[in-house]
């Protein structure tokens, strides 16, 4: 089978391409390398350094390749960045998705190609019900979350208008190898591992009391969900699915877990005031994904943290020869 993966050189994209190639599939990667790295390339993948917003080019690519599925991951996925820069963020996160939807239809592939759209738990905003089911009202608190929700609606519209086979997966906090430190916009786990393994001079911090909790989902599980959604025999009618671990971890518990997996090395965090607009808790109700996608997230959080830490350790700059 042929798969197109957009955002192929990013964190989830790299892991997804690797799993597909290992399974013997043909994989076409599309990434403009705006944040992804050319070196994060999986041997065997055919890469195109292009933007998903290049509408005509994308139609042409799909006509040529006739993929069984497009796994659409390309995005500018930083919440804080989207608040500071709503235009470039929304251009990719919303218009880029519309461009992918348009390309499948214009390429004449509605009967042939399924779209798996990478949505986000940020569509919920601060959810009142935990674990949060997909039917929970959505109240995004950032341009990023709003663009993801609007993109889901565009997916649903393309299903209604053209019968497009499309599904949206709302990932919760994804972590794992290749989940790079994102500088000022980084999430806590990559930032803390960056300090421990790559740049000791970087001061890691904790905003608020640390009792806020997140549903941390391993990247291998997200890839499992993407492939299950891309290959399920029965098509989709623009359904949405939560993809998470289905378990919550406070930031203080995460700190303790990281300290344990790195051999009880202390992680000194500078305490900062709570971030304005920060959601206190996230926790996915994954029963729908379990039933309809056969989704089974891993159960050994410490082992997944260990694998992630090992990747960070491998990124440590070599000592200079001088």
Ligand X SMILES: NC(=O)c1ccc[n+]([C@@H]2O[C@H](COP(=O)([O-])OP(=O)(O)OC[C@H]3O[C@@H](n4cnc5c(N)ncnc54)[C@H](O)[C@@H]3O)[C@@H](O)[C@H]2O)c1
Residues at the interface with ligand X (CB under 6 A): 6-7, 9-13, 30-36, 51-53, 73-77, 92, 96, 118, 120, 171, 173-174
What phi and psi values does residue 3 have, to the nearest 5 degrees? -125, 140
Residues ≥6 apart with Cβ < 8 Å to 303: none
The alpha carbon of residue 275 and the mean position of all alpha carbons in its chain are separated, in whole angstroms, by: 22
Looking at the Cβ atoms of 244 and 273, the one nearer to ligand X is 244
Looking at the Cβ atoms of 90 and 113, the one nearer to ligand X is 90
- Quote the least distance from Cβ 11 to ligand X, whole Å: 4
Looking at the Cβ atoms of 9 and 113, the one nearer to ligand X is 9
- Quote the least distance from Cβ 24 to ligand X, whole Å: 23
- Quote the least distance from Cβ 96 to ligand X, whole Å: 5
- 148 three-class SS: helix
CB-based closest residue to ligand X = 10
Cβ neighbours around 280 below 10 Å, total = 12
Q: How far apart are CA 64 and CA 51, in angstroms?
A: 17
Looking at the Cβ atoms of 32 and 134, the one nearer to ligand X is 32
- Which residue from 117, 120, 190, 197 is spatially nearest to 157, judged by alpha carbons? 117
Looking at the Cβ atoms of 163 and 168, the one nearer to ligand X is 168
Token pair belonging to 5: 């993966």
Contact (Cβ atoms closer than 8 angstroms) between residue 178 and residue 222: no
- Quote the least distance from Cβ 175 to ligand X, whole Å: 7
- Quote the least distance from Cβ 253 to ligand X, whole Å: 18
Looking at the Cβ atoms of 218 and 236, the one nearer to ligand X is 218
- Quote the least distance from Cβ 222 to ligand X, whole Å: 8
- Quote the least distance from Cβ 134 to ligand X, whole Å: 15
Contact (Cβ atoms closer than 8 angstroms) between residue 180 and residue 220: no
- Which residue from 125, 94, 103 is spatially nearest to 28, judged by alpha carbons? 103
- Report the half-sphere exposure of 219 (CA within 13 A, side-chain side): 21
- Report the half-sphere exposure of 168 (CA within 13 A, side-chain side): 23
Q: How far apart are CA 153 and CA 247, in angstroms?
A: 28
User: Tokens 């609007």 belong to which residue?
Assistant: 150
- Quote the least distance from Cβ 13 to ligand X, whole Å: 5
Contact (Cβ atoms closer than 8 angstroms) between residue 136 and residue 124: yes
Q: How far apart are CA 254 and CA 305, in angstroms?
A: 10
């Amino acid at each position: 089978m042929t798969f197109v993966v957009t955002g192929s050189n990013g964190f989830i994209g790299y892991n997804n391409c690797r799993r597909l190639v290992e399974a013997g599939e043909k994989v076409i990667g599309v990434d403009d390398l705006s944040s992804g790295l050319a070196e994060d390339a999986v041997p065997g993948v055919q890469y195109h350094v292009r933007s998903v917003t290049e509408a005509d080019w994308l139609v042409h690519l799909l006509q040529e390749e006739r993929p069984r599925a497009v796994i659409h991951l390309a995005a500018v996925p930083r919440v804080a960045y989207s608040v500071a820069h709503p235009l470039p963020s929304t251009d990719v996160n919303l218009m880029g998705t519309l461009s992918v939807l348009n390309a499948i239809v214009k390429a004449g592939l509605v009967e042939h190609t399924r779209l798996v759209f990478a949505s986000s738990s940020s569509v919920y905003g601060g959810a009142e019900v935990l674990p949060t089911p997909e039917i929970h009202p959505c109240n995004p608190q950032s341009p990023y979350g709003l663009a993801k929700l609007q993109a889901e609606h565009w997916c649903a519209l393309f299903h209604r208008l053209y019968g497009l086979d499309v599904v949206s997966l709302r990932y919760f906090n994804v972590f794992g190898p290749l989940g790079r430190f994102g500088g000022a916009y980084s999430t806590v786990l990559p930032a803390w591992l960056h300090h421990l393994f790559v740049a000791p001079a970087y001061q890691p911090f904790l905003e608020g009391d640390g009792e806020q909790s997140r549903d941390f989902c391993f990247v291998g599980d997200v890839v499992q969900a993407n492939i299950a959604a891309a290959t399920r025999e029965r098509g989709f009618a623009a359904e949405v699915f939560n993809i998470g671990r289905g378990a919550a971890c406070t930031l203080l518990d995460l700190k303790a877990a990281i300290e344990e997996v790195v051999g009880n090395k202390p992680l000194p965090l500078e305490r900062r005031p709570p971030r304005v607009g920060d959601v206190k808790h996230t926790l996915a109700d994954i029963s729908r994904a379990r039933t309809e996608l056969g989704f089974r997230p891993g159960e050994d959080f410490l082992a997944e943290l260990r694998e992630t830490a090992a990747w960070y350790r491998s990124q440590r700059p070599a000592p200079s020869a001088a």
